[in-house]
């Protein structure tokens, strides 16, 4: 008596993967923006000489994690559109928002973080530390992108869980 049992692999539920990734991304972003950075600012570390390089290292790691989350979200919505038995309500809106969400951490990683770190680096240790005007503009653009990112993540969570 020779019986073989075949175990069929379970299909990936891409909407669950996308929802979990978006929730992780949102939580990590809010933790960094609303807890870590205000604590560092309150402690006076933002005005220390070595903070530019430390900030670049911290944000470099976090931005790479965000790029990974963005890639998972885009891939997940593409997979849902292609193979899922549970289609989303607004597939084009979801794909456009997911694509924009991927572009935001890429802009952080390759444009904002290196430029902000370069502006914050003090090459003369005897000079008094002052914030350049360009740094204020970059901070404003960061917060505008961050606000859009949080709103887009919330919208995509709503789209992914509406099915």
The pLDDT tens digits for 17-27 are 999 999 999 99
User: CA 8, CA 155: separation in Å to the nearest integer?
Assistant: 34
Tens of pLDDT, residues 102-161:
999 999 999 998 888 887 766 556 666 566 678 788 889 999 999 999 999 999 999 888
Angle (CA) 69-34-56 rounded to 5° is: 60
CA torsion sign, 63 to 69 to 72 to 76?
negative
Cβ atoms of residues 49 and 129 within 8 Å: yes
Q: What is the reported pTM?
A: 0.83
Question: Any idea what DSSP says for residue 35?
Answer: I
User: CA 77, CA 47: separation in Å to the nearest integer?
Assistant: 42
């Amino acid at each position: 008596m020779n019986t073989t049992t075949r175990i069929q692999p379970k299909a990936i539920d891409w909407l669950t993967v996308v929802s979990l990734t978006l929730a992780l991304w949102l939580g990590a972003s809010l933790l960094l923006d609303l807890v870590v950075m205000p604590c560092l600012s309150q402690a006076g570390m933002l005005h220390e000489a070595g903070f530019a390089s430390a900030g670049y290292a911290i944000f470099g790691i976090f931005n790479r994690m965000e790029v990974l989350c963005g890639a998972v979200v885009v891939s997940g919505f593409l997979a849902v559109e292609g193979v899922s038995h549970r289609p989303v309500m607004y597939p084009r809106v979801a794909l456009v928002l997911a694509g924009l969400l991927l572009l935001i951490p890429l802009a952080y990683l390759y444009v904002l973080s290196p430029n902000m770190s370069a502006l914050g680096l003090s090459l003369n240790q005897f000079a008094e530390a002052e914030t350049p005007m360009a740094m204020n503009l970059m901070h404003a653009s960061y917060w505008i992108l961050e606000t859009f990112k949080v709103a887009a993540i919330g919208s995509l969570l709503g789209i992914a869980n509406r099915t």
